[in-house]
Amino acid sequence: MDFTVRPWKASDAAVIVPYANDLAVAKNLRDAFPHPYTLTDAECYVNSCVELEGHGQLCRAIVVSGEAVGSIGLFPGNDVYCRSAELGYWLGRPFWRQGIMTAAVREICREGFQALDIVRIYAEPYAQNAGSRRVLEKVGFTLEGILRSSVYKPLGRPPERCLLDSCVYGLLREEAAL
Ligand SMILES: CC(C)(COP(=O)(O)OP(=O)(O)OC[C@H]1O[C@@H](n2cnc3c(N)ncnc32)[C@H](O)[C@@H]1OP(=O)(O)O)[C@@H](O)C(=O)NCCC(=O)NCCS
């Protein structure tokens, strides 16, 4: 499916709410990604991306047919981790399994290694997130380790939470097909 990746615009906020307000998306992300996901949450996120554009992080909307339907970003670390960037992404459920995120991850890694002073991009999918793990493997990331019981996450009805393993996947600058 055709898609583009571009900087966020304030008008994207209202458009992403129905895609972001989905437990199937939220359960695979950190709790900083709220569920339910409201217009205020979307405005806060999009505004922060607009403000931080050009200040060292890459935060992009994934756009299908002119509509923002997902998000992908690279967030450089601090202190001794300043040459690494964390990769995060999600896509609206109607667009899953059409190759979009594999292509989007490939593209943002290429852009990230060109635009940012980093040597490593990493992501931390939960171990049971087969789709996300497959995306990273297809792009050439290496599974560097599994952090056992590292994540305490609501998966069922609140306040149920459970412990999950998370995976660390890394891609070095010299491994990326630029
Ligand atoms: C994970 C996610 C980003 C995948 O995006 P996508 O655009 O559907 O991925 P792609 O279409 O590029 O698929 C890449 C590969 O993963 C496989 N895949 C995708 N979803 C899968 C799933 N749920 N289970 C098993 N494999 C899956 C595809 O079949 C494809 O592999 P193949 O080419 O060998 O057939 C999307 O499902 C999503 O946004 N999930 C919720 C949020 C999330 O998990 N974010 C990542 C947090 S680390």
pLDDT tens for each residue of 76-118? 999 999 999 999 999 999 999 999 999 999 999 999 999 999 9
CA–centroid distance, residue 89 to ligand 1 (Å): 11
Residue corresponding to tokens 């995060």: 88
Condensed to tens digits (0 to 9), the pLDDT of residues 14-48 reads 999 999 999 999 999 999 999 999 999 999 999 99
By DSSP bridging, strand 142-153 and strand 84-91 are unpaired
pTM of this structure: 0.96
Q: What is the pLDDT of residue 158?
A: 62
Average pLDDT over residues 133-153: 97
Q: What is the pLDDT of residue 178?
A: 61
CA distance 173 to 178: 9
Measured CA to CA in angstroms, residue 121 lies from 16, 40, 45, 47, 170 at distances of: 26, 30, 22, 24, 6
Q: What percent of the chain has pLDDT over 70?
A: 96
User: Buried b vs exposed e over 87-119: b needs ≥16 C-beta within 10 Å?
Assistant: bbbbbbeebeeeebbebbbbbbbeebbeebebe
Q: What is the pLDDT of residue 128?
A: 96
CA–centroid distance, residue 167 to ligand 1 (Å): 15
Domains of the chain: 4-175 (3.40.630.30)
Which amino acids bring their CB within 6 angstroms of ligand 1? Answer: 25, 28-29, 89-91, 96-102, 123, 125, 129-132, 134-135, 138
CA–centroid distance, residue 92 to ligand 1 (Å): 11
